[in-house]
Structure 1
Amino acid sequence: MSRFDAELVRRSGDLPHTPADRGFQLLGRAANRSKLWFAIAALLIGKKGATRRAGLRGVAAIGIASFAASAVGKRLFPRRRPAAELLPVYRRMTKRPTSSSFPSGHSASAFAFASAAAMEHRGAAAVTLPLAAAVGYSRVHTGVHWPTDVAAGAAIGVGAAYATRHWWPHRKDLPEGPQRRATAEELGDGEGLVLVVNPGAGSSGDAGDEVRKAWPRADVIEILPDTDVLAELTKKVGNGTDSGPVRAIGAVGGDGTVACVAGVAVEHGLPLVLVPAGTLDHFARDLGIQNLDEAQAASRAGSVVVCDVAEVDVSYRGDETERVVYVNTASLGGYPETVRLREKLEARWPKWTAVLLATTRTLRRAKPMKIMLNGHERLVWMLFVGNGPYEPKGFGAARRPSLATGKLDVRYLRADLPYSRARFLLASLTGTLSTSHVYRHAEVARVDVVLLDGHRRIALDGEVGPLGRRFSFQVRERALPVYSP
């Protein structure tokens, strides 16, 4: 193998002098500490959907590959780097690495990012895979690695990309379930449609003009600081629009906006038009609605998916109860506190930085909750109640195969066992959470939660909800038809 490597390096050294020599040197330096890949990831993450997932999965894969190549591979397999004399002077790196030559860490990171990005976005693959191959060859061309070092690094990188699917399942890894389809009135140019637009949600700031073009005869209500949206929407539903009675209502924004409008739709028995324009858009993703064009096509065809919605009755003192509808998830524990802190930090920091800071601070200060769960006393760190069963069954709930099951997805992390958070983290990393004693999961039609140590706010669809001590969750089966392709 050493003779084979040496022969390939000699042949590379015999190649004529071209401007590409300088280009390979610059490319290798750009890939130092994965700076090149982090820069590309930043560009990908800036755009929502599959592009953002490609960037995030790529960064996760780099972390795995870097550890496997540098912390494990180089320590287990010490190997001298190619002798500088094998290449002409103009090809050599001015500062040669001193660590073990096997495997190539640059190649591991390059192919990890490129392979992971390719899983989510074919367009990204067309750029990242050739670039990863160029980075790998540059390590041989500049004389700092043997060809087999690069091949081993590439194999580690591809393996790291696939390893991310163990913790973050790809959509193809998750089961598909039947959706309950039906038909509704065709909306045409928006006759009888009332749209609620949230300019502050994700990409909704420039969506108002687009939805007016898509449905020129629709009535549009923008969520502004001095606007009582629910009151105005309810008034519109009662009085009708300029083009006649209200036949459907719509939400243009994130999951919080969707949940708010969905409550009115359920109350009045109207179908929902959903235009994803938020940060994550979980409900739209589970329905298969990716953009405005798909929502418009579905509304003109009258094609709907009938969905369950979840309701929670929140009581703080005595018999005073507030009922709230949500479409994705509700949670008690650390998440509501994280959302509240994030909203404060967003005044000074970009959104994703604020999310990271808020999550870190909340986990550090987290305190367990003593609750009564369906009549049984429990001590938990957090409680999750999803509108319908999510997949996978471990901690990383990714999507719902079906949106009309009549079930709630209940998950919680126990706090009554020693080192429960550390055990939870270890089980998450090893993929054994479903058999862990610190984690519990059930699918039921109703959940009653009573806080025994005070009161807390509940988080609903990514927003901070009302303050309460008693929370009663239930499913309203097949209550919401949503226009969907």
Structure 2
Amino acid sequence: MNLAEIDRRAFEDVAAAELRGLEFVLPRLGKIADHGVLWFGLAGTLGLTGIPALRRGALRGVIAIGLASPSINLLGKQLFRRRRPLVHNVPPMRILRIPGSHSFPSGHSASAAAFATAMVLEAPKRVSLPVVGLAASVAFSRIYTGAHYPGDVLAGILSGVAAGLTTRLFWPVPARAHVAHFDRVIEHRDPQGAGVVVVTNNDPETIADLRNELPHAEFTDCQGDLEGKLEEAAGRARVLAVCGGDGTVGTAASAALRHGVPLLVLPLGTLNHFAKTLGIETVSDALDAYWSGSLAYVDVATLNNVPFLNTASFGAYSEMVDRRERMQKRIGKWPALAVAAFRVLRRATPVDVVVNGEPRQVWLAFIGNCEYGKRGAVPTARDNLTDALLDIRLVSVKRRLRRLRALAVVLAGRMWPLSDYESWVSQSLTIEADAPLRVAHDGETENARPPIVFRKHPKRLSVFVPI
């Protein structure tokens, strides 16, 4: 008995099966999934939750469907041209319509598996497992309603899973990094927040729930003088809590280090890379970390003794940040970033510097606090915040064609390295130049006077992390 015969017999067994309660549900579930409507609707619903993991899963799912659907409909079906099953044994009440396209592989099953795989990669089990169950139901409905043979569905599922996993090649799945834990939790910790000074520039409605959760905490508005307010707060705090993105958190880390107090990161900024690396994606995650009292040591890097927690850079990227900041109030952050990237592509030129005593013409330089992903000129994600290393990546570009390739790597992230790409790890880096360099660190830019010295300070900053 060959595979085609086994497939037909399995189809006939399903056609003859009577599943009480599903005769009405499964055909309509398959119809709702036509053209991905079910999955796009679910993605929109998950996106509206505001929960980062669910929003990422929804976006990854849509991208995965975008990869799976053309490969199935434009390649798979045209290549194999398998006819649809004969439905004379399928009860008429299950057949809502007979598709006119070829049968192998199943496009419905591919889209369902692609979306479910993306959710498994990103979302917690309490959300991803029901999505997997829904996807399995859609796939089974294609056999139950006579639209596909089981082999069509299996091939569609495998194609969808492959599409979901393929998204990891250009969009790594965030993972909580390794940290060095204290042997004890913080002492004299008040669950209602006594001794906690919260520095924020968010509107009152955004932090209203936070005030309710920490009624004994002191709240300070840092608008206008962020560095000064953080310095004052750290001087009188037992715990310094900061609301904001990476730039604000980096400034808070400087104050926390000077005063020797632990830092509680509340991810309420536009970009929250450091918080996500700690496993803190929401304010609820941060509060859970505080209430558990779980502290960790993490590494800090410095640029001429100014601490940064994620990355520093000079060259094209710092110019792009400056251009984006000048435009983002008028047109929004992401459109401003796109316009800035285009203008940098047209006008940026390499900078002449001396790197650890060796002359270089550098178009783009990244220096990471701890080692990031292995490939490409742009750091992506870290799995260790205590490795005592700087991740150094340089791209030297002179000709326009190579500049286009370099910018493609900057925007796309994990790509294969360029011929002019160098990377290594070290505990220090010295940059010399004839004039001050515009340097970006944790999303902020400044003029740095050479020599510019980057150094690593292992396990220096204490932060709250979820257990």
Q: TM (normalized to structure 1)?
A: 0.76
Q: Bigger shift: 206-215 or 19-28?
A: 19-28
In the other structure, the counterpart of 1:216 is 215
Q: Which of the numbers 111, 114, 123 marks the counterpart of 1:112?
A: 114
Q: Of 129, 133, 145, which residue of structure 1 is paired with 2:132? A: 129
Amino acid at match of 1:439: Y
Please give the secondary structure, in 2, of the residue aligned with 1:38: helix
Residue 392 of structure 2: aligned partner: 410
Q: 1:348–1:70: structure 2 CA closer, same or farther, 3 Å change rule?
A: same
Is residue 199 from structure 1 mapped to residue 202 from structure 2 by the alignment? yes
Shift of 1:133: 2.0
Alignment deviations for residues 263-309 of structure 1 (CA, whole Å, 9 cap, x no partner): 22223333222223335532223334455455456556654222232
The separation in 2 between residues aligned to 1:363 and 1:63, in whole angstroms, is 30
Distance, in Å, in 1 between the alignment partners of 2:407 and 2:367 is 18
Number of residue-to-residue matches in the alignment: 456
Alignment of 1:373-384 (within 5 A): 373-384=355-366
- Contact 1:340/1:464 (CA < 8 Å) preserved in 2? no
Q: Aligned ranges for residues 63-462 of structure 1 at < 5 Å?
A: 63-83=66-86, 92=95, 96-98=99-101, 100-120=102-122, 121-170=124-173, 177=178, 179=180, 181=182, 184-188=186-190, 189-199=192-202, 206-224=205-223, 227-237=224-234, 240=236, 246-292=237-283, 295-296=286-287, 298-299=289-290, 303-313=294-304, 324-336=306-318, 337=320, 340-341=323-324, 344-345=327-328, 347=330, 354=335, 357=338, 361=342, 365=346, 367-372=348-353, 373-392=355-374, 394=376, 397-416=379-398, 419=402, 422=405, 433=416, 437-449=419-431, 457-461=438-442
- Read off the aligned partner of 2:220 and give its amino acid letter: I
- Contact conserved, 2:315 with 2:351, CA < 8 A, in 1? no
Once residues 157 and 363 of structure 1 are traced to their aligned partners in structure 2, the CA distance between those partners, rounded to angstroms, is 38
- SS of 2:257's partner is helix
User: Relative to 1, partners in 2 of residues 1:23 and 1:297: Cα closer, same or farther, differing over 3 Å?
Assistant: closer
Residues 371, 450 of structure 1: 8 Å contact kept: no
C-alpha displacement of 1:106: 1.9
Say which SS state the counterpart of residue 480 (structure 1) adopts. Answer: strand
| CA separation of 1:148 and 1:424: change in aligned 2, threshold 3 A | farther
Report the equivalent of 1:41: 43
CA gap 1:11/1:247 in 2 versus in 1, 3 angstroms: closer
Which SS does the other structure have where 1:474 is aligned? strand
Indicate if the aligned counterparts of 1:391 and 1:400 stay in contact, CA closer than 8 A.
Answer: yes
Please state whether the residue corresponding to 1:433 is helix, strand or coil: coil
CA, structure 1 residues 343+425, in 2 after alignment: closer, same or farther (shift >3 Å)?
A: closer
Cα deviation digits, residues 360-382 of structure 1 (max 9, x gap): 74686474533423343444553
User: RMSD of the TM alignment (CA)?
Assistant: 4.2
Residue 111 of structure 1 and its aligned partner are, at CA, apart by 0.6
Q: Secondary structure at the match of 2:180?
A: coil
Report the Cα offset of residue 354 of structure 1: 3.9
Residue pair 1:186, 1:300 contacting (<8 A) in 2 also? no
Do the aligned partners of 1:111 and 1:158 also contact (CA within 8 Å) in 2? yes
Give the structure 2 partner of residue 320 of structure 1.
Answer: none
Q: Choose which of 42, 47, 55 in structure 1 pairs with 2:58.
A: 55
CA contact (8 A) 1:61 1:116 kept: yes
The secondary structure found in structure 2 opposite 1:216 is coil
Q: Which residue of 2 aligns with 1:475?
A: 456
CA distance in 2, matches of 1:302, 1:19: 50
Structure 1 residues 82-91 or 187-196, which shifts more? 82-91
- The offset of 1:394, in angstroms, is 4.8
Q: Which runs of 5+ in 2 are unaligned?
A: none
Q: Find the aligned partners of 1:22 and 1:275 in 2 and give their Cα distance.
A: 48
Q: Is the 8 A contact 1:168 1:396 kept in 2?
A: no
SS at match of 2:387: coil
Contact 1:115 1:158 (8 Å CA) reproduced: yes
Gaps of 5+ in 1: 241-245, 314-322
Would the aligned equivalents of 2:391 and 2:424 in 1 still touch at CA under 8 Å? Answer: yes
- How far is 1:157 from its partner? 1.5
Shift of 1:105: 1.9
Contact 2:114 2:160 in 1 (8 A): yes
Preserved contact between residue 107 and residue 153 of structure 1 (Cα < 8 Å): yes
Task: Give, as a single letter, the amino acid of the residue that structure 1 aligns with 2:182.
Answer: R
SS in structure 2 at match of 1:35: helix
SS in 2 for 1:102: coil
TM-score (normalizing by structure 2): 0.79
Distance in 1 between residues matched to 2:149 and 2:423, nearest whole Å: 50
Q: Would you say the 8 A contact 1:178–1:401 is kept in 2?
A: no
1:45-83 alpha-carbon deviations (Å, 9 max, x no partner): 443343233223323432443344334433432322335
Identical positions, percent: 31
1:186–1:299 contact (8 Å) kept in structure 2:
no
Q: Distance in 2 between matches of 1:433 and 1:456?
A: 28
Bigger shift: 375-384 or 144-153? 375-384
Are the counterparts in 1 of residues 322 and 445 from structure 2 also a CA contact under 8 Å? no
